[in-house]
Amino acid sequence: MNQADNLFHRLDAHCAALEAQLIAWRRDFHQHPELSNREFRTASVVAEHLRALGLDVREQVAHTGVVGLLRGGRPGPVVALRADMDALPVAEEVDLPFASRARAQFNGAEVPVMHACGHDAHTAILMTVAVVLAGIRAELPGTVKFIFQPAEETPPRGETGGAAQMIAEGVLEDPVPAAIFGLHVIAGIETGRIGYRPGPTMASSDEMRITVDGCQCHGAMPWMGVDPIVVASQVVLGLQTIASRQVDVTREPSIITVGAIHGGVRNNIIPDRVELIGTIRTFDESMRSDIAARVQHTASHIAQSAGARASVEVERGYDVTVNHPALTEQMLPTLLRVAGVDQVFLAPKLTGAEDFSCYQQRIPGLFFFLGITPPGSPPGQVASNHSPRFRIDESGLLLGVRALCHLAWDFLAAPEGDG
């Protein structure tokens, strides 16, 4: 066994020895979920853990974020590893002894809280990685920056947060990482598998708000006014022609979804106003701008044709998650070694969005997907991320620990110029 193989074997052995602790951390976070910018307990547990490992720790970054710095015993570059900590306003329907019964305030209302997207697993995985890498601190050729981020699921109305706020408060400075790695557990990918993709990987996410103003009148005499409900219905259908008939579908996929319609108070009153809210997902910046303009044009002209008025607001959200092609190519052998050649696959584009994209706009980044669904599960019966029935096969979490440990080591130990 050569020196490198011996190191890899030691890393894996240390990871395996921590599996029970990894699962215990994940279950604890799952039972005590916290919403975006309110991850107080989670952040406290993380900070105390990192300090116990001897890391330099900075707290209250972007409200509740925690950053730990592990300085290796040998000179080398800096690499960052990121995990998100926040949960969602979802009522858990999974029968587990550690199921969440938590409730909290969200945008002025009391809501149930659940880790319905696996951020509890992400936090536990990165805490475990910190233990493993701290154990080889003397041999580590460089520095590892551990980023525990709040508010990936977006902060409450009127608040800042997430990756953008972490960056604004210096998370990528002093020292500056040469690269950043992150992962996401995904329902529907079998346990033991890793999905990756160079280039555009997850979509941008923009919020769309359309207000249709008509003229209120009696529901029995619609000709006496202008019905904004009918106009709004026509707008919803018209928007679907943008992605299907107005943009080049062979270039990149795109989605326009209306997620809510609000208007009216009685069955026999045609209201003055109807409001539509929705999301726009794209994988290309020029298409993103073009589609936003087409939404404006389509909604306003449909409304005008019926004697109504439509105002459109498109608020830019997360940008496209773009895996750095050269970094992805460089680190692919690591993923293949860790998971096995047959267990690593080229993932399709995912129309979900991730603010990991903020880090990738500053430094090269690789974001990959970790399977947590038992092999043989009926595809149509697997609850997706964000579902109240979302479930994690915990036997898949150890692979996430191993992957991040090996990625960090391989990147730091690469000959100068390979990073």
> What spatial distance separates the first Cα and last Cα of the chain, rounded to whole Å?
26
Cβ neighbours around 215 below 10 Å, total:
14
Instruction: Identify the active-site residue in 153, 318, 354, 359.
Output: 318
Per-residue pLDDT of the chain (419 residues; tens, 9 = 90+): 688 889 999 999 999 999 999 999 999 999 999 999 999 999 999 999 999 999 999 999 999 999 999 999 999 999 999 999 999 999 999 999 999 999 999 999 999 999 999 999 999 999 999 999 999 999 999 999 999 999 999 999 999 999 999 999 999 999 999 999 999 999 999 999 999 999 999 999 999 999 999 999 999 999 999 999 999 999 999 999 999 999 999 999 999 999 999 999 999 999 999 999 999 999 999 999 999 999 999 999 999 999 999 999 999 999 999 999 999 999 999 999 999 999 999 999 999 999 999 999 999 999 999 999 999 999 789 999 999 999 999 999 999 999 999 999 999 999 864 55
Q: 3-203+320-413, what's its fold?
A: Aminopeptidase (3.40.630)
Give dist(CA 66, CA 44) in Å, integer: 9
Cβ neighbours around 122 below 10 Å, total:
27
Characterize 30-58 residue by residue with b for buried, 16 or more Cβ atoms within 10 angstroms of its Cβ, and e for exposed: bbbbbbbbbbeebbebbbebbeebebebb
**What does pLDDT average to over the chain?**
97
Which residue is associated with the tokens 């990165």?
A: 126
Instruction: Give 40-78 pLDDT, tens digit per residue.
Output: 999 999 999 999 999 999 999 999 999 999 999 999 999
**DSSP code string of 151-174:** -TT-PPTT---HHHHHHHTTTT-S
Domain assignments of the chain as residue spans, ordered by start: 3-203+320-413, 204-315
Q: Is 74 helix (H, G, I), strand (E, B) or coil?
A: strand
What is the structure's pLDDT at 417? 47
**370 contacts 399 by C-beta, under 8 angstroms:** yes
Q: Is 351 helix (H, G, I), strand (E, B) or coil?
A: coil
Instruction: Give 103-160 pLDDT, tens digit per residue.
Output: 999 999 999 999 999 999 999 999 999 999 999 999 999 999 999 999 999 999 999 9
Residue type, 45: V
What is the structure's pLDDT at 109? 94
Give dist(CA 190, CA 377) in Å, integer: 8
CA 94 to chain CA centroid, Å, is 22
What is the structure's pLDDT at 34? 98
Q: Active site includes 139?
A: no
Q: Active site includes 196?
A: no
Phi, psi (deg, nearest 5) at residue 411:
-65, -45
What angle (nearest 5°) sits at the alpha carbon of residue 114, between those of residues 113 and 117?
135
Whether domain 204-315 has CATH 3.40.190.10: the reply is no
Compute CA distances 245 → 95, 186, 194, 343, whole Å.
Answer: 45, 31, 35, 38
Give dist(CA 372, CA 382) in Å, integer: 11
